[in-house]
């Protein structure tokens, strides 16, 4: 396992300290955060790919459709 140095400001350090007990320590909390961030990125990329395919098949979304989806899903 490799070691990486991360510089945190006071607020981020306090946030990490508050999360550490829930995840079994500071390193585990950071590893969890990285995995969560990577999963979010994968979902985002998959959604963009799906929207591109849908747009190619159905045409671009109208502004009112985007507004309705934004409101419905709290985006």
pLDDT tens digits, residue range 17-47? 999 999 999 999 999 999 999 999 999 999 9
User: pLDDT at residue 75 above 90?
Assistant: no
| CB-based contact 75:69 (threshold 8 Å) | yes
pLDDT at 1: 85
Cα–Cα distance, 17 to 21 (Å, whole number) = 8
Domain residue limits, the chain: 10-73
The pair of structure tokens assigned to 50 is 């799906």
Higher pLDDT, 53 or 27: 27
User: pLDDT at residue 14 above 90?
Assistant: yes
| CB-based contact 51:66 (threshold 8 Å) | no
């Amino acid at each position: 396992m490799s070691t990486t140095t991360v510089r945190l400001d006071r607020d981020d350090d306090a946030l990490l300290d508050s999360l550490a007990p829930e995840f079994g320590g500071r390193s585990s909390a950071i590893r969890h955060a990285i995995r969560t961030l990577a999963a979010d990125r994968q979902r985002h990329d998959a959604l963009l790919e799906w929207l591109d395919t849908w747009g190619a098949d159905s045409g671009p979304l109208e502004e009112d459709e985007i507004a309705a989806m934004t409101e419905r899903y709290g985006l």
